[in-house]
Amino acid sequence: MRTSHYQVLTLILGITSVTILTIWGGQILVRSSQERLNPTFTDAQLWARYRWSFDPTQRRQAALLLVGKSADSPRRQQRLLQAQAWGTGPLAAVALNYQAQVAQKIGGNSFAKDFWLDLLRRFPLSPLSADAYYALGRSKIDLRAKLMQLHPSHPASLAAALELQNFGVDGFQGVTHLAKWGPRWHGAEELFRKACNQITGQNPTKEERELFAISLAKLGDGITALQCLKESPKNPVISLAIAASLVKGEQSSRDKGKHLIKQLLLKYPNSKESSEAIRLLVDNNQLTLDELSSFDKSLEKSSLGISIARVRFSLEKQPLEVLRTWKGKPEILDLQWELARKSILEKDFENALILLSIFQDQNLPEPALARIKFWKGFIQEKKGNKLLSKKIWDELIDHHPPGYYTWRASQRLGRSAFPELKNNNVSSYLPPLISWEPLLSEYQLVNLLWRLGLQKTAWETWRSIHLAKLRPEQSPSEIITEARLRMAVGDFWQGLSIISDLALQTSLEDCYKNDLLHRSQHPHRFLEEVMTASKSSGLRPEVLFAVAKQESRFSPGVESIQGATGLMQLMPETAQEFLDIPLQKISLKDPATNLLLGARYLSSLLEIWEGNPFLALASYNAGPNIVSKWVSEETYVDPELWVERIPFSETRFYTKKVLGNIWSYLNFNVTMCNVKKD
């Protein structure tokens, strides 16, 4: 039978279509296999890649991302992890580690044993094997010892050290390990005290006592640290560590700290520890004029602390020379602002400009630079130079992340208004778009774990790799990495502390890292509880985030020396005023309860001050009765000057900081970069 032209043409078109579809489908598969999976992918997208990707590496990464999203279903995790531990790369170790953990959840230690053994056999040196050493070491003490040797800073190693309670057999091996690698590990502090007090019946060596004393001092217990030594410190490093803890305590503790510092200055007058010790006294207002005069004359030129003290006591005839001599030091930026602030409040604007301009050619930390720019613009406005003032403030707003000074510049220029903090339609509030972002660590394995949503494993691996190197200093990027990892596993107290310190001390040239640094300082923790308290009180959610960040760093269990408790740091008697039933103090550590009562209190302060955010927030810190004595015409005309006249430095700093936090949360997604890095 002969084939018609029409049939031939149809056959050719059909083959061509199949070829085109095959090529097109292949291109899609190739592009799909090149995708960098991360937590922003939906479950459906990940499931499609887990089932259909022709790239086994992508299938495994999709499986691990789904495992991280399936914490409440061990059986599902078990199915996802089947046949994923192939190869010799790090993800094989990750898959084995999770297979063992899931098996332990489902069937206990015996069910997980084979996975742990396989992990040790195939990856004996990997930090991902630390959990295997720990799990199998319950019955084999040699495995525990190997764990502490190979991965000393890994959480599994610290947990193993904590369990070495039988000092009769192991001496002080466990507590010494904790002092070196994890003095803040839960339960370590009590072990240090027991070892120092010889509760075990054994005597620590001198070196061990010094190690325990330094650890206790870092934890804020300088009194026990001093007692642990059994004698005066013989080492300037130990003296400084203990003194740093003591001078921040009660009066009796401060007296001991000052005595220790005097001994340090007497024995090691020209050491760097002596200079740092004097700075401690200066920063904590523990240095008198007579004490300053009694110091060795040779310290005057070598001690930053003495230089600052001489300026503050008006003994230095050329303070500008002191600023130039010690430029680059964070303490000098504080001194510069202290002197400039005094001149501004005295309306000595010419001298203030000189002081504000002294470091203009230096790479300054962003907060210090923003402060300088705002006040330069303020002074020019007061001098009648409106165009120059506008130019300075425009540059401040356009080139700095949202904060207190960018808000004040915006208000002064009329560019953007600060919204009412109360009586807004909070039910329409939508949380900002918080997308996943790469970690940017120098350790690629840690970056990979973070990208796969395995945050806890990323944190443990980072500790194991990075801290074991015992570097004297971290790069700014790695400090940001540590802070983000800490917050990812719930340690907001330390995480926010270290990243805030970085922002105050370092200038980052990379625009994206600057943005990341800023966003990381403003987490949205306890969103559900914040929204409930917001709707109940009528306060904007951003206000509650801003106050909780400043009061407690989002740590619900924190309690001050005075008794202020929880996220919003409420005194029990204050909280009771806004509750109809008797208040149990422990309930203030519940985030929902604390936020609700704190919001009601702050709402009442805004009503007292007719919505004025400066007066309401100052009152939250110092109390409305005290703040009422500070109110003047300047409060409403030049609120920036009013804040700087607050006689309590803590309230002054607090008011500016919380107002800056609010502006940052209101403008969370504002970026200083045109293009973000992948």
Beta bridge partners of 559: 565
3-class DSSP assignment, residue 559: strand
Give which of 602, 510, 600, 589 is closest to 547, Cα–Cα.
Answer: 602
Amino acid occupying residue 233 = P
Residue with tokens 């995708």: 35
3-class DSSP assignment, residue 233: coil
Residue with tokens 């401060």: 254
Q: Please, which residues have CB within 8 angstroms of residue 338's CB and are 6 or more apart in sequence?
A: 312
Q: 3-class secondary structure for 128-180? A: HHHHHHHHHCCCCHHHHHHHHHHCCCCHHHHHHHHCCCCHHHHCCHHHHHHHH
Amino acid occupying residue 296 = D
Q: Please, which residues have CB within 8 angstroms of residue 6's CB and are 6 or more apart in sequence?
A: none
Quote the crossing angle between the two packed helices 511-520 and 476-488, to the nearest 10°.
Answer: 30
B/e letters for 196-233, b = 16+ CB within 10 Å, e = fewer, are beeebeeebeeebbbbbbbbbbbbebbbbbbebbeeeb
Beta bridge partners of 565: 559, 570
Residue with tokens 């660590």: 441
Give the Å distances, CA to CA, from 411 to 390, 419, 639: 12, 11, 11
Q: State the Cα–Cα distance between residues 617 and 550, nearest whole angstrom.
A: 11
3-class DSSP assignment, residue 599: helix
B/e letters for 472-507, b = 16+ CB within 10 Å, e = fewer, are eebebbbbbbbbbbbbbeebbeebbeebbebbeebe
Burial of 261 by CB count in 10 Å (0-12 exposed, 13-18 middle, 19+ buried)? Answer: buried
Measure the CA angle with vertex 119, ends 116 and 125; round to 5°: 125
Do the Cβ atoms of 419 and 413 come closer than 8 Å?
no
Q: State the Cα–Cα distance between residues 151 and 544, nearest whole angstrom.
A: 41
3-class DSSP assignment, residue 570: strand
Residues identified as active-site:
551
Handedness of CA 209, 212, 217, 220 (dihedral sign): negative
3-class DSSP assignment, residue 24: helix
Q: How many C-alpha atoms does 430 have within 13 Å on its Cβ side?
A: 4
Phi, psi of 108 (to 5 degrees): 85, -175
Q: State the Cα–Cα distance between residues 329 and 575, nearest whole angstrom.
A: 41
* Token representation of residue 550: 């400043």
Count the neighbouring beta carbons within 10 Å of the beta carbon of residue 647: 10
Q: How many C-alpha atoms does 298 have within 13 Å on its Cβ side?
A: 8
